[in-house]
Amino acid sequence: MGQHTMTVTQGDFASAIQSDTPTLVDFWAEWCGPCKMMNGPLEELAEENTGKLNIAKLNIDENPGVASAHSVMSIPTMIVFQNGEEKRRLIGARSKSQLAAELAEFTN
């Protein structure tokens, strides 16, 4: 997707979130303005935290089942998974600095 973020689909979602490395999944859609505002911050954070935090993007129009399976009812929603478990959920767009602060436990 971006240079440092990856795309996930319903096909590889399950294995992507099994990773030992914390993996943030960004649920987004083309018609969601606030989702697109997150592209820049997520790209930068992915680059700055290579190896510590994976950032993956899931398009909910193309992969509707995954969103509802995880009770995603508003986008953007960003869920950090590790070893298959949900560790942190962030709902709504936010600035890069706020996002970085909220993800500090995974990146430090």
Residues forming contacts to another protein in the complex (CB under 8 A) are 29, 31-34, 37, 40, 60, 67-68, 71-75, 77, 91-95, 97
Give the integer Cα–Cα distance in Å for 50 and 32.
27
The residue annotated as part of the active site, out of 6, 29, 32, 37, is 32
Nearer to another protein, 21 or 44 (CB): 44
Nearer to another protein, 73 or 104 (CB): 73
Give the integer Cα–Cα distance in Å for 12 and 78.
17
Nearer to another protein, 10 or 19 (CB): 10
Question: In 10 A of CB 32, how many CB atoms?
Answer: 17
Least Å from the CB of residue 34 to another protein: 7
Least Å from the CB of residue 40 to another protein: 7
32 is an active site residue: yes
Token pair, residue 45, equals 């954070």
Q: SS3 helix, strand, coil % of the chain, rounded to 5?
A: 35, 25, 40
